[in-house]
Amino acid sequence: MKVALFIPCYIDQFYPHVAKATLELLEKLGCDVSYPMDQTCCGQPMANSGFERETVGTTKQFLETFKDFDFIVAPSGSCVLHVKEHQPKIERQEAEQKEIQHKVYELSEFLIDILKIGTIKGSFPHKIGFHSSCHGQRGLRLSSSSELNEKPFNKAKDLFAGIQGLEVVELTRKDECCGFGGTFAVTEEALSIQMGKDRLSDHLAHQVEIICGGDTSCLMHLQGIAERNNKPVKFMHLAEILNQAIS
Amino acid sequence: MSHPNQAANFLKDEKRAHWHDETLWFVREKRDISSKGIPEWEELRKLASGIKDHVLSKLDYYLEELEKTASANGIKVHWAKDAAEHNEIVLSILQEKKCKAIVKSKSILTEECHLNPFLEKHGVEVVDTDLGERIVQFLNQPPSHIVLPAIHLKKRDISEIFHEKLQTEKGNEDPAYLTNAARIHLRDKFMKAKVAITGVNFAIPETGEFVVCTNEGNADMGVHLADVHIACMGIEKIIPKREHLGVFLRLLARSATGQSITNYNSHFRSPAPGKEIHLILVDNGRTEQLSREKFKNSLKCIRCGACMNTCPIYRRSGGYSYGSTVPGPIGSILSPGIDVKKYSTLPFASTLCGSCSDVCPVKINIHEQLYEWRQEITKAQGWSAKEMSMKMANGIFKSPLAYKVSGKVLRATLKTLPDSLIYNPLNAWGKGRNVPEVPKESFKEWYQKNRS
């Protein structure tokens, strides 16, 4: 099984440890992982700002880089959703593009749905809050949505279930947005900060040591606010916790 | 109109903004409990969505059917292509009846058409009879929410308004006392009005009737006391058959407030002897919206307001921050269709979190349409500094080398810049947030050194 690691640009530049944890975790689980060196960005920041049409070059680059792999795995729900739904159609490469949209996976869904590992066995004695990113949750359906009348599920929490000592708190507002939203974070700065503060308060009210999530972008925003306000809480990506916990 | 500025303004009073957020979240939670009490909830949403899709695909047919059946029942049907025509039709009926004072209930459409100022200009006294509407009317404000028009006001504010307008005791904030004062005040208006105006929730071509859903019963009170009933409806309010109410009435109130059903679901089919019913079918941009493939299904909206209650932006910026008759997520996909320039910031007033689409009882893909409007708006706005930077970004991301070099430069710059520059007031990221710590090498660099 040839697995390509797709590392979103901001993780590559600012959070290399998240990328390393993803790589190590997948290797520990027996995958043959490679990181195609020519990858750049999926184009999401531009498209969400209303410039999807300007991302044709970026999208072609993405297709060229990843087309020969069986699976493409990224530690980000948001970037995966973008590849699946919002990359512009590339003429004469429709078939390849369609195929890629079906073989790109967010980390937790790859572990649960493709590797079918059920859960991770190991130990991580900490109390954490899990932040479901909206694109992962309502876009990729990695967990049930509180608006829908459906049976509750959460792929990340399934992975946590076999980890000893790990306590995941139940938040008051289970799945409210943190207010990052890409360029929203700067164009609607005041709202973005207020939403982040509110999300942070919910976690802190439940005395979590660590806020964990599947999208580093949300965590970057929340961490920035926590640090500015001297809140004593750590931030870890899902891949980091699983990689540390696994035995 | 700039949503970011309005939102920042609203958030200045952090305590009040927090109260607004909690108040609407409370309504959202009531909606959750109520909707989860019905096992077939998702099935109902699918049905409702399908019925509305069907109606929109044959709207011309159903509208003509409605005209036929309603006319046969003795209802006078009028067609208005825009707000101006709608207002003229209302005025002409009032003039014919020599009516100088009317009562009104449950009509966001008349807000959309700015009927009140138009009639007042022509010497007609208009009284909104629903409590929330009456309160904002006293303040000369539009509703801030389509179902809860005065949700932005606290009991204390209302006590002050009533003290001034209805001479209630100063400082008395007891809801029962204040409501009673409004009731006495409105009774007088009801008794005097010869014409009553209502909105329409559902119009049914099968039977030629229309249905108005209310909680306070003012629509009925107004209509029964008046000689003439004018009902104003957007042309999208049609459901084909009466039996379809079994789907929509179950969804509407649960989505709006968490009630299992609205208190009054009044069917109007034909005028009582000696009385008149007028039904005005209003287009006002709806046909144009119907012609836009990506946006037409926004017309499925049944105006429950659930997307407002669930929206983390709306709850923290208030209805007025949108500057449009219908605020919130649904307003942000309807309003640009009316004036793309004026409402250009609205589709960006979202993180695209998708909660609106999941809460919507008729399954409008609201957040996807917000994304699509962004694409349209940047095209309509033409060349801009933002577009320039996007073109540059694409230039960087389509070339692995350019990406590597610019990433390196960016990290080096962030590392060497003094904090005073990073946290400059012009840098919106750094105003309320720290920037991430800069690692010594990117993952790509690490991988090249250690793995390849």
Residue-level pLDDT at B413: 65
Helices (H), A68-188: 77-81, 94-103, 107-109, 134, 155-160, 184-187
B5-8, Cβ contacts within 8 angstroms, sequence gap of 24 or more: B6/B317, B6/B318, B6/B320, B6/B321, B6/B322, B6/B323, B7/A188, B7/A190, B7/A191, B7/B313, B7/B316, B7/B317, B7/B321, B7/B349, B8/A189, B8/A190, B8/A191
Question: Where are the domains positioned within chain A?
Answer: 2-114, 122-245
> Mean pLDDT throughout B388-398?
67
Asked if B395 and A224 come within 8 Å (Cβ–Cβ), the reply is: no
Whole-angstrom distance, CA of residue B7 vs CA of residue B12: 9
DSSP A15-38: -HHHHHHHHHHHHHTT-EEE--TT
Which of B25, B41, B436 is closest, CB to CB, to A149? B41
Which of B8, B353, B400 is closest, CB to CB, to A40? B400
Whether the pLDDT of residue B58 is over 70: the answer is yes
Centre a 10 Å sphere on the Cβ of residue B262 and count the other Cβ atoms it contains: 20
Which residues in chain B have Cβ-Cβ distances shorter than 8 Å to A184?
Answer: 348, 350-351
User: Model confidence at B441, in pLDDT bands (50, 70, 90)?
Assistant: very high
Whether the pLDDT of residue B383 is over 60: the answer is no
Asked if A86 and B371 come within 8 Å (Cβ–Cβ), the reply is: yes
Which residues in chain A have Cβ-Cβ distances shorter than 8 Å to B374?
Answer: 48-50
Q: Which residue from B minimizes the CA distance to A186?
A: B428
Looking at residue B91, what DSSP letter applies? H
Asked if B378 and A58 come within 8 Å (Cβ–Cβ), the reply is: no
Q: What is the pLDDT of residues B98-129, one digit of tens each?
A: 999 999 998 899 999 999 999 999 999 999 99
Contact B330, B356 (CB under 8 A): yes
Whole-angstrom distance, CA of residue A43 vs CA of residue A61: 10
Which residues in chain B have Cβ-Cβ distances shorter than 8 Å to A152?
Answer: none
Contact B205, B244 (CB under 8 A): no
Whether the pLDDT of residue B307 is over 70: the answer is yes
User: Model confidence at B418, in pLDDT bands (50, 70, 90)?
Assistant: low
Which residues in chain A have Cβ-Cβ distances shorter than 8 Å to B310?
Answer: 147
Q: What is the pLDDT of residues B67-87, one digit of tens each?
A: 999 999 999 999 999 999 999
Distance (Å) from the alpha carbon of B321 to chain A's nearest alpha carbon: 12
Distance linking the first and last C-alpha atoms of chain A: 23
Which residues in chain B have Cβ-Cβ distances shorter than 8 Å to A47?
Answer: 371
Give Cα A100 distance to the centre of its chain.
18
Question: Which ipTM score applies to this complex?
Answer: 0.96
Distance (Å) from the alpha carbon of B164 to chain A's nearest alpha carbon: 34
Structure tokens at A83: 């590849």
Whole-angstrom distance, CA of residue B128 vs CA of residue B148: 14
Which of B371, B378, B397 is closest, CB to CB, to A40? B397
Residue-level pLDDT at A78: 96
Whether the pLDDT of residue B425 is over 60: the answer is no
User: Model confidence at B392, in pLDDT bands (50, 70, 90)?
Assistant: low
Asked if B317 and A191 come within 8 Å (Cβ–Cβ), the reply is: yes
Which residues in chain B have Cβ-Cβ distances shorter than 8 Å to A189?
Answer: 4, 8, 428-429, 431-432
State phi, psi for B233 to the nearest 5 degrees.
Answer: -135, 145
Asked if A147 and B317 come within 8 Å (Cβ–Cβ), the reply is: no
Distance (Å) from the alpha carbon of B307 to chain A's nearest alpha carbon: 11
What SS3 class is residue B229?
A: strand
Residue-level pLDDT at B422: 59
Asked if A37 and B353 come within 8 Å (Cβ–Cβ), the reply is: no
Residue-level pLDDT at B428: 82
Asked if B400 and A38 come within 8 Å (Cβ–Cβ), the reply is: yes
Whole-angstrom distance, CA of residue B139 vs CA of residue B311: 26
Distance (Å) from the alpha carbon of B251 to chain A's nearest alpha carbon: 13
Supply the mean pLDDT for chain B: 93
Kindly state the helix (H) or strand (E) to which residue B280 belongs, with its residue range: strand B276-282
Question: What domains are there in chain B, each with its CATH number?
Answer: 1-26+297-382 (1.10.1060), 38-159+189-284 (3.40.50.10420), 397-450 (no CATH)
Given a cut of 50, the residues of chain A with pLDDT beneath it are none
Q: What is the pLDDT of residues A49-81, one digit of tens each?
A: 999 999 999 999 999 999 999 999 999 999 999
Whether the pLDDT of residue B423 is over 70: the answer is no
State phi, psi for A122 to the nearest 5 degrees.
Answer: 165, -160
A122-245 fold: Rossmann fold (3.40.50)
Q: What angle do CA B204, B207, B212 make, to 5 degrees?
A: 45
Q: What is the pLDDT of residues B189-208, one digit of tens each?
A: 999 999 999 999 999 999 99
The count of residues in chain B is 452
Distance (Å) from the alpha carbon of A32 to chain B's nearest alpha carbon: 13
Selection from B100, B93, B96, B97 nearest residue B122 by Cα: B100
